Structure 1
Amino acid sequence: MPDTDTAVPATEDPQGSFDAFYRATRQRLFAFLYALTGNAAEAQDVLHEAYARAWQRWSTVRDCDSPEAWMRTVSRRIAVSRWRRARNAVFAHRRAGPPDDVPGPNPDNVALVAALARLPVEQRTAIVLHHLCDLPVAAVARETEAPEGTVKARLARGRRALADLLSIDLPEESRV
């Protein structure tokens, strides 16, 4: 909660300083918003936003009949806008109903990810880019900054290692 200062009306400040206005009004405006919202954190958030708006328009606000009344109006409107947004979010959530149940992960995908995690990072990267992202060997080579021959070797070694980890029998031509 803001500390209390001796209230000095903004009109007594020869330059119409925003700082003086802030110091003179922050306690009263906080008390107003706290009573209005019933929540100290919400009151502070609204007040900060209202002061930011006042600061941006200070050359106009300081010439108002009552800059503090301007702040009360703006901060009240900000608070009401937040309430409406929150209320509309609740209504939208109720209209949409609860989210659909998301099925659990496929056991095969879990096994594949676990097996990939056991591969060296270079082999894993090559396998994922080539087989899961459908990139050709040349694109994998560019992305990993490795020669195409190296990428092909990593793919071959990675496939053999994955086959062993997943207990899959590879055709003979893949084992060579």
Structure 2
Amino acid sequence: MADQSGFEEFYTGSRHRLITYLYAMTGDRAEAQDAAQEAYVRAWQRWSTVSTYDNPEAWVRSVAHRLCLKHWRKAKNRVTAYLRHGTDPDVDPPSENTVALITALRQLPVAERQVITMHHLMDLPVAEVAAQTGIPVNTVKTRLSRGRRALAGFLDQDAFEEYANA
């Protein structure tokens, strides 16, 4: 196991310098602290090796620097993707029927809800629902029948027919 007291001394003696360096580099104190924390975790995991280096602080600083660069690359990629694709188009709010259906589906037992959504909303044939859920075809049919009956009681007839016939 690593020499814990040696690591604690190293950490206490170098932490402020590393965070100051990273903060100056990133301009973001939270990012600097996150990168420093991750770098020290990695140093602790390899302390038996890192402690033998001529300058363990340089190793930790290098690791923390690479972590910041990785964070910047990801941010740059997100901005590039945003500029290329833009934002998602605005989505209209759900209709009253959709809200009613979701509310009704939540009242069904999970097993019935699963087969109803797979068969009616995902347009999967009964045999495919059975294959994907690992239950017999007749069980799927029974759950569909029970689920439809229960939904008809929860929904007004127009909303039920809209989704049942979709």
How far off its partner does 1:155 sit? 5.5
Instruction: Give the aligned partner of residue 134 of structure 2.
Output: none
Tell me which amino acid in the other structure corresponds to 2:153.
Answer: A
CA distance in 2, matches of 1:161, 1:87: 52
Q: Give unpaired runs (5+ residues) of structure 2.
A: 120-125, 127-136, 162-166
Cα root mean square deviation, aligned: 3.6
Tell me which amino acid in the other structure corresponds to 1:51.
Answer: Y
CA distance in 2, matches of 1:130, 1:76: 51
Instruction: Give the aligned partner of residue 34 of structure 1.
Output: 23
Taking structure 1 as reference, are residues 63 and 16 closer, same or farther at Cα in structure 2, changes over 3 Å only?
farther
How far off its partner does 1:86 sit? 0.8
Instruction: Give the aligned partner of residue 139 of structure 2.
Output: 138
Tell me which amino acid in the other structure corresponds to 1:138.
Answer: T
CA distance in 1, matches of 2:148, 2:24: 70
Instruction: Give the aligned partner of residue 49 of structure 1.
Output: 38
Tell me which amino acid in the other structure corresponds to 1:100.
Answer: P
> How many residues are matched?
141
Structure in which a larger fraction of residues adopt helix: 2
Q: Which runs of 4+ in 1 moved over 4 A?
A: 154-157
Instruction: Give the aligned partner of residue 66 of structure 2.
Output: 77
Q: Percent identity?
A: 38
Contact 2:113 2:147 in 1 (8 A): no
CA distance in 1, matches of 2:153, 2:80: 53
Instruction: Give the aligned partner of residue 12 of structure 2.
Output: 23
Q: Which has the higher contact order (CA 8 A, sep 6+)?
A: 2
Stretch deviating more after TM superposition (52-61 or 125-134): 125-134
How far off its partner does 1:158 sit? 2.8
How far off its partner does 1:162 sit? 4.6
Instruction: Give the aligned partner of residue 166 of structure 1.
Output: 157
Tell me which amino acid in the other structure corresponds to 1:161.
Answer: G
Q: Who wins on radius of gyration, i.e. which is larger?
A: 1
Q: Give unpaired runs (5+ residues) of structure 1.
A: 1-13, 144-150, 171-176
Taking structure 1 as reference, are residues 45 and 129 closer, same or farther at Cα in structure 2, changes over 3 Å only?
closer
Contact 1:30 1:47 in 2 (8 A): yes
Taking structure 1 as reference, are residues 160 and 54 closer, same or farther at Cα in structure 2, changes over 3 Å only?
closer
Instruction: Give the aligned partner of residue 105 of structure 1.
Output: 94
Taking structure 1 as reference, are residues 100 and 160 closer, same or farther at Cα in structure 2, changes over 3 Å only?
closer
Q: Deviations over 1:4-61 (max 9, x none)?
A: xxxxxxxxxx987212111111112112112221221111001001111111221221
TM-score (norm 2): 0.64
CA distance in 1, matches of 2:158, 2:86: 44
